Amino acid sequence: MCKTIDHVLVPGTFDPITCGHIDVVRRARRICPKVTVAVAESLGKNGVGTTFSLDERVELARSALEAEGLADVEVRPFTGLLVDFAREVGAGAVVKGLRAMTDFEYELQQADLNYKLDPGLESIFVMSSPQYGYLSSSVVRQIASFGGDVSGLVPQNVASALKDRF
């Protein structure tokens, strides 16, 4: 018997959430009635930690999604293993956006590990929309750190937060 998935997670560090992330969330919402954005604590991200605290990243994501008409998408922080969080919230799949082959290799490895830990948790990949294929949180942070204009790359609330931070 085939079990329908009615709840998916869109996980990430979201440091900060970008227009590319919002595109993935919007597309996940089109294919599933319930979407939860799972904001990872990621204490050791890139060996230096995150630019924004976990609470700040959750609030930036909530505000950005609400402004984009996605107020029905839940945003929750999590620590530990994604498979444990998925079980906790009752999600049956993880949705990830892919920009390039390097994303695919990394995400396939993560999907394989998640499958090993929980064979019932599906992985769904969506290709990046062409206008966001180059976009990453790290690129946004770098541009912002040099005083560059990040409007159009991130929601307005995030652009303001980055300006205040840098």
- For the stretch 92-138, pLDDT in tens is 999 999 998 889 999 999 999 999 999 999 999 999 999 999 999 99
Count the alpha carbons within 13 Å of 106 in the hemisphere toward its beta carbon. Answer: 8
Q: How sure is the predictor about 45, in pLDDT bands with cuts at 50, 70 and 90?
A: low
Cα–Cα distance, 34 to 74 (Å, whole number):
8
Comparing C-alpha atoms, which of 31, 37, 1, 30 is closest to residue 16?
A: 37
- For the stretch 55-73, pLDDT in tens is 999 999 999 999 999 999 9
pLDDT at 47: 63
Residue 138 is assigned to a structural domain of this protein: no
Residue 30 is assigned to a structural domain of this protein: yes
Number of domains in the chain: 1
Query: What CA dihedral angle connects 36, 37, 38 and 41, to 10 degrees?
Result: -150
Q: How sure is the predictor about 46, in pLDDT bands with cuts at 50, 70 and 90?
A: low
Provide the whole-model pTM.
0.94
Cα–Cα distance, 77 to 94 (Å, whole number):
15
Could you list the residue range(s) of the whole structural domain that residue 59 is in?
Answer: 7-133
Residue 112 is assigned to a structural domain of this protein: yes
- CATH label of the domain that carries residue 94: 3.40.50.620
One DSSP character per residue, 60-118 reads HHHHHHHHTT-TTSEEEEE-S-HHHHHHHHT--EEEEEE-SHHHHHHHHHHHHHHHHH-
Residue 157 is assigned to a structural domain of this protein: no
Residue 156 is assigned to a structural domain of this protein: no
Catalytic residue set: 21, 45, 99, 137
Residue 147 is assigned to a structural domain of this protein: no
Categorise residue 48: left if φ over 0, alpha if ψ from -120 to 50, beta otherwise: alpha
Rounded (5°) CA angle 86-90-93: 55
Q: Which of 40-49, 65-74, 125-134, 152-161 has the lowest mean pLDDT?
A: 40-49
Residue 115 is assigned to a structural domain of this protein: yes
Residue 154 is assigned to a structural domain of this protein: no
